[in-house]
Amino acid sequence: MITFLQGTIQRNPTTITVNVNGVGYEVVVANPNHFKEDAPHCRVITRQVFTETSATLFGFPNETERELFDMLTKHVKGIGPKTAIAILSKIEPNLFKAAVANNDLATLSAVKGLGKKTAELILIELRDKVKVADLWDNSKGKEDQALNETMLSLIALGYSRAAAEKAAKDARKNLPDCEDTRELTRAALKN
């Protein structure tokens, strides 16, 4: 599996060509302008997709876009790699995540080429996944790391985000000085 390429870039209308030590790799991207053509060692994060008739590299300027691409292609029925790239070309990842987390059908439906039914399917399939991913991102660097890790543990055990948050906060009230995630999780499970 090719996870990234590093080399010089040549932009094309819907793809880029990455020259890595004299070998050119064609990479399908959402927006070729996200990649600097004159940079000597541009890094392109990739996802390699195999079908019966082809092996295609899809490229991204960062991990966030690749994670969103993976969420769309793996968890939403009917969305393949080309549709996922088309979605990423029309809406920024943070705006997309916010729309899914806030159940904003209007924003997703406004994406050209994305119908109302597909937008609804995206909201249904990705709602919890985006919220958990955002919870994880938001938990990094916050003061109450044990509380955030407890919420993530409860979600991993099957709790909804709201139930996990309530249980973890109740456990925090009972153990205000606890810094051990395991102990806090046990207390949350007892509530």
Average pLDDT score over the chain: 86
Alpha-carbon distance of 38 to 54, in angstroms, equals 30
pLDDT in tens, 12-42: 998 999 999 999 999 999 999 999 887 778 9
User: Cα separations (Å) of 146 from 61, 89, 142, 153, 177?
Assistant: 32, 37, 10, 10, 10
| pTM score of the predicted model | 0.68
Q: What are phi and psi of 49, to 5 degrees?
A: -120, 130
pLDDT in tens, 110-152: 887 788 899 899 988 887 776 655 655 554 444 567 887 888 7
> In the 8-state DSSP scheme, what is residue 69?
H
Residue 142 has a pLDDT of 47
Domains of the chain with CATH codes: 1-61 (2.40.50.140), 62-127 (1.10.150.20), 141-190 (1.10.8)
Q: Which two tokens stand for residue 26?
A: 């064609």
Lowest mean pLDDT among 1-10, 16-25, 88-97: 88-97
Alpha-carbon distance of 147 to 162, in angstroms, equals 14
Query: What is the rounded average pLDDT of the residues 97-121?
Result: 84
Length of the chain: 191
